[in-house]
């Protein structure tokens, strides 16, 4: 998880939600969809996934303002079977398309046990973990995948070919929080490079390379080179074969196939800001065995991992989803930290759109 900018101001999550809903509504997004857009961004903020929260609102605002996306998202069914569907997102807001696709997946999984939904013609859906969480709420296992604009190079290559193609897998457990693995298939993703830049920190070695395979460390230069296509993010495992870079490369390619091949959509260099594909899987646990048994075995796995031998100097072993759960509890109490830069951006947005500025007053109300 990324360190919080020490100059951040803590804002009540409900104030942030109200502001983002207002922004979406002002841009013509219907009430319910505005609520979805704001909720996905806020949930990222609450969970400490600062690269995918309100700091990114401007991307959606710019697209809606420029008419690059319709404000009304229309999701249509291209083809459907009891356990599968191919949906068309009509180039609408990715968050809205993904929530609607996941709702279809949940409905179908209740009927058939397992459902797989392919989505075409969508756009950036934010943090992938939001969608498995919808399945967990209903005692099911959920998975979400999406392709994205090319930025990862293949092993032995230096050209950005694959998106940061995240994998999100969530399962209910009997511990306080669900298991939720949710990460890019690159070592670092674009949003995190932006955070390094905002914090004025150099990137560690071995995350991003230039066309000659040399490591790059200046985040501002990396962001510029990424736009030009001359810098590439390394897949999980890093450069070459020695540390298993081909495994991250393989996972990123797997996500590309899930996201593009099931819907005959753009892939690799063809993927741009809109028109991307997603894939969702939902498994109804109760078709296999009673949910409490699944939750108890999953919980035992997490407890065993947490309780296993630690390396010197480390006092705690985490499992996926744990840090985000802790952060969510803390931020519901204390508020969401927003950097000065993000606050200035949101104020400028409010002025431009004629909406009330973000309310910075008071303490969190919810606990
Ligand atoms: N929509 C898109 O196109 C897109 C593309 C890439 C990434 N993303 C999103 O960006 C977000 C951040 O991705 P990232 O790759 O920077 O994530 P990350 O590197 O922060 O890894 C996050 C995952 O690792 C787990 N984790 C962290 N520390 C751990 C520890 N010590 N022990 C066990 N588990 C630990 C977390 O619980 C979480 O599941 C994700 O939510 C992802 O969905 C979206």
pLDDT tens per residue, range 99-129: 999 999 999 999 999 999 999 999 999 999 9
Atom nearest to 44 CA in ligand 1 = 41
Q: Are residues 178 and 327 in the same domain?
A: yes
User: Does residue 123 have its Cβ closer than 6 Å to ligand 1?
Assistant: no
Q: Are residues 173 and 116 in the same domain?
A: yes
Positions in the chain short of pLDDT 50: 365-367
CATH number of the domain encompassing residue 350: 1.10.1530.10
Q: What is the distance in A from the centroid of ligand 1 to the CA of 20?
A: 23
Q: Are residues 79 and 139 in the same domain?
A: yes
Q: Are residues 162 and 217 in the same domain?
A: no
CA-nearest residue for atom 12, ligand 1, is 183
Q: Are residues 263 and 330 in the same domain?
A: yes
Q: Are residues 287 and 176 in the same domain?
A: yes
Three-state SS across the chain?
CCCCCCCCEEECHHHHHHHHHHHHHHCCCCHHHHHHHHHHHHHHHHCCCHHHCHHHHHHHHHHHHCCCCCCCCCCEEEEECCCEEEEECCCCCHHHHHHHHHHHHHHHHHHHCEEEEEEEEEECCCCCCHHHHHHHHCCEEEEEEECCCCCECCCCCCCCCECCCCEEEEECCCCCCCEEEEECCECCCHHHHHHHHHHCCCCCCCCEECCCCCECCCHHHHHHHHHHCCCEECECCCCCCCCCHHHHHHHHHHHHHHHHHHHCCCCHHHCCCEEEEEEEEEEEHHHCCCHHHHHHHHHHHHHHHHCCCCCCCCCCCCCCCHHHHHHHHHHHHHCEEECHHHHHHHHHHHHHHCCCCCCCCCCCCCC
Test site for ligand 1: of 182, 233, 302, most ligand atoms within 8 A of the Cβ: 182
Q: What is the distance in A from the centroid of ligand 1 to the CA of 77?
A: 30
CA-nearest residue for atom 19, ligand 1, is 183
For position 365, what pLDDT does the model report? 44
Test site for ligand 1: of 1, 125, 160, 184, most ligand atoms within 8 A of the Cβ: 184
Mean pLDDT of the chain: 96
Q: Are residues 227 and 267 in the same domain?
A: no
Q: Are residues 48 and 194 in the same domain?
A: no
CATH number of the domain encompassing residue 173: 3.30.1370.60
For position 111, what pLDDT does the model report? 98
Q: Are residues 107 and 216 in the same domain?
A: no
User: Does residue 319 have its Cβ closer than 6 Å to ligand 1?
Assistant: yes
pTM over 0.75? The answer is: yes
CATH number of the domain encompassing residue 198: 3.30.60.50
Range of the domain at 329: 74-183+242-334
Q: Are residues 86 and 147 in the same domain?
A: yes
For position 7, what pLDDT does the model report? 83
For position 362, what pLDDT does the model report? 66
How many domains does the chain contain in total?
3
For position 367, what pLDDT does the model report? 36
pLDDT tens per residue, range 265-300: 999 999 987 789 999 999 999 999 999 999 999 999
User: Does residue 279 have its Cβ closer than 6 Å to ligand 1?
Assistant: no
Q: Are residues 179 and 246 in the same domain?
A: yes
Q: What is the distance in A from the centroid of ligand 1 to the CA of 112?
A: 30
Q: Are residues 176 and 115 in the same domain?
A: yes
């Amino acid at each position: 998880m990324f360190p919080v900018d020490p100059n951040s101001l803590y804002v009540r999550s409900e104030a942030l939600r109200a502001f983002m809903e207002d922004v979406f509504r002002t841009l013509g997004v219907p009430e319910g969809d505005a609520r979805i857009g704001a909720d996905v961004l806020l949930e990222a903020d609450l969970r400490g996934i600062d690269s995918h929260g309100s700091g990114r609102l401007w991307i959606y605002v710019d697209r809606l303002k420029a008419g690059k996306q319709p404000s009304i998202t229309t999701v249509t069914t291209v083809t459907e079977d009891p356990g599968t569907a191919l949906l068309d997102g009509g180039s609408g807001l990715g968050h809205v398309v993904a929530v609607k696709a996941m709702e279809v997946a949940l409905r179908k999984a209740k009927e058939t046990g397992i459902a797989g939904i392919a989505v075409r013609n969508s756009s950036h859906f934010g943090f992938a973990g939001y969608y498995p969480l919808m399945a967990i709420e209903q005692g099911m296992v959920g998975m979400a995948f999406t392709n994205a604009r090319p930025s990862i190079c293949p092993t032995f290559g230096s050209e950005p070919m694959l998106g940061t193609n995240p994998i999100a897998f969530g399962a209910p457990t009997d511990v306080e929080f669900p298991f939720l693995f949710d990460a890019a298939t690159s070592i670092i993703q674009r949003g995190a490079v932006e955070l390094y830049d905002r914090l004025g920190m150099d990137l560690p070695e071995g995350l991003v390379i230039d066309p000659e395979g040399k490591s790059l460390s200046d985040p501002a230069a990396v962001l510029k080179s990424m736009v030009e296509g001359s810098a590439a993010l390394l897949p999980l495992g890093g450069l070459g074969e020695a540390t298993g870079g081909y495994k991250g490369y393989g996972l990123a390619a797997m996500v590309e196939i899930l996201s593009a091949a099931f819907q005959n959509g753009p892939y690799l260099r063809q993927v741009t800001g809109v028109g991307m594909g997603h894939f969702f899987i939902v498994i109804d646990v109760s078709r296999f065995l009673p949910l409490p048994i699944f939750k108890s075995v999953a919980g035992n796995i997490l407890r065993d991992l947490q309780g296993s031998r630690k390396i010197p100097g480390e006092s705690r072993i985490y499992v996926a989803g744990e840090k985000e759960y802790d952060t969510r509890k803390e931020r519901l109490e204390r508020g969401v930290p927003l950097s000065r830069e993000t606050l200035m951006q949101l104020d400028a947005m409010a002025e431009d759109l004629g909406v009330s500025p973000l309310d910075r007053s008071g303490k969190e109300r919810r606990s």
